[in-house]
Structure 1
Amino acid sequence: MRTGPAAGRSGYFHEALCYASDDELLAVTVPFLLGGVAAGEPTFVAFGERTAGLVRSALPAGHGIEFLTGGDVYARPTAAVRMYRQLLADLVAGGATQIRIIGEVPRVGLGSTWDWWARYEAAINRAYDDWPLWSMCAYDTRITPAAALADVGATHPCFARPDGRHVPSRGYLGPESFLRRNPPMPADPIQADPPLVELTDPTAAQARAAVHRVGQGGRLSEDDLDDFVVAVSETVTNALRHGCPPVRLRLWAAPERVVATVRDGGRGPADPYAGLLLAADGKPGGLGLWITHQSCNHVTQRRDAEGFTLRLTAGRPPG
């Protein structure tokens, strides 16, 4: 049986908690967690080290709440989706009738990579709707930029307030409406210089060779380089197969990262969830983009009058 404001609902009840002090964070988090334990619901925290420490210190001994390692859970949006979907499926198979989770995007995600975390927040309204989940996503208004807070309102149907209220978000958009938006793609600072590599209509093998050349020399770890080679190869293959010519690959490099853009003359994927979720019908469409999102530290996209661009970043994103 569902409890709290999720009572009587089916599927996913997705709330945001925007707090301006540690006291406000605890005023919502502690009752949420202890209420889950009292109701016999699997209850989880996925916070970073500082906020997890605050919550731990406010909970009674033997509380029965499981703390997930926030840095691992939110390494990448697609990794979080994959992990949570498996967790939810396992818990429901074990008899859970409601699951409670409170988590937070890593602080670095509020900077230059926020756009794909915003897309994550929109997509999970569908991705987790197969299970009786009540979750809160916590945002510290002292460090979260105003533009990100606007996206939080657009991607969360409800807000949890420190005074105990649960109120609808006036700015909420359905996930597909949010994901079909086409915001500008701010340039990575290293794109101010000419690309190190520029290829037109490259084969996947030529793309892989170019990434190997640019990524060597200590710019990327061996694992990051291998993943990035796969990501760029998949993106080029998608553009050649599904886009419109010409397909252009450009590569830039800095001491700790490599950036690739793949551009073609088409409109990009029709599925707004492409990259974040596999196709719901089980068909292979979108698999290449999904692999790309699993293999990079930032993926962003942009449509304009001349075509579709996907930008991939390996290593440490700027800022």
Structure 2
Amino acid sequence: MKNSCALTATQYAFQHQYIKGNALFSYQTAKACYINILSRHCSQTIHYTLSHASCVLPEGHNVIHYLEAHDTIEIRSEDECNHLVIVLIAPENLHFFHDKYQQEPLRFAKGFMTKSDTRFRLLFEQLESLPETDLLYQMRSELIILEIIFHQIQSLAVENKNTQHVIVMKGHYEKILLAKEIIEEDLSKNHSIPDLAKQVGTNVQYLKKYFKQYFGKTVMNYITEKKMEHAKELILTGNHRVSDVARMTGYKHSTHFTTAFKKHFGFIPNSLKYSFLLQQGTEIFIELEPILGCL
């Protein structure tokens, strides 16, 4: 066996910035790079300028532009619904894409524009759901952004080849998203994986594999997580007994619900309910204290 000390350097370094709501992004490049404007599916039309040339990014689209050194870009976000991710990445970090881009300058004269599909939507949802308190937040968010870029440019890799595989994969994305929507539609129901697979028109193995790939957790873990989050919200309203919350999240027996709740959060639902009641009592006392002081 040969010993090798050769190490491979990480290739995909990039810079990024989030833009939400009404905002202005302005940047001048120090050296040549690609700028990628990623737009969440609910974002409206975006107006921007590249070295004083006016451009428009239609609703539900994304675009990559090549910028020379000292070029400027200014992006105006003028709607509260807008959610953009701006990514700057060096040409040497996108070898395949850069070669393709430079070989066909007329084709990419107005940038490389793609439409946000279901896969983009899933990835943006993952990106937005990441808690910033997570110690691995930066690493997780950067991995998702890389996956978005990969999805964005991979269509170039299959040009002039059999496109049937691409068509099939897009249909699969829709099925995985549908499974997620069925789960979230009614959290009082208890879905089995075979039942979900049948409803969305796929098989158990595919659903398990790609649900984990797209959402970062198994189908059953996702169901449990959503049920527990919903249960916590219901308890914190102060309007429901624990037995009612158990029923509303698909548990026939309160003891089974309590066990699942404690396993997920680390404490029993009654302790959360008592904490809520104690907090309410403290707030009432604080409101009455000035009145009591006058008596």
Asked if TM exceeds 0.5, the reply is no
> Larger RCO: Structure 1 or Structure 2 (Cα < 8 Å, ≥ 6 residues apart)?
1
TM-score scaled by length of structure 1: 0.27
TM-score scaled by length of structure 2: 0.29
Higher helix share: 2
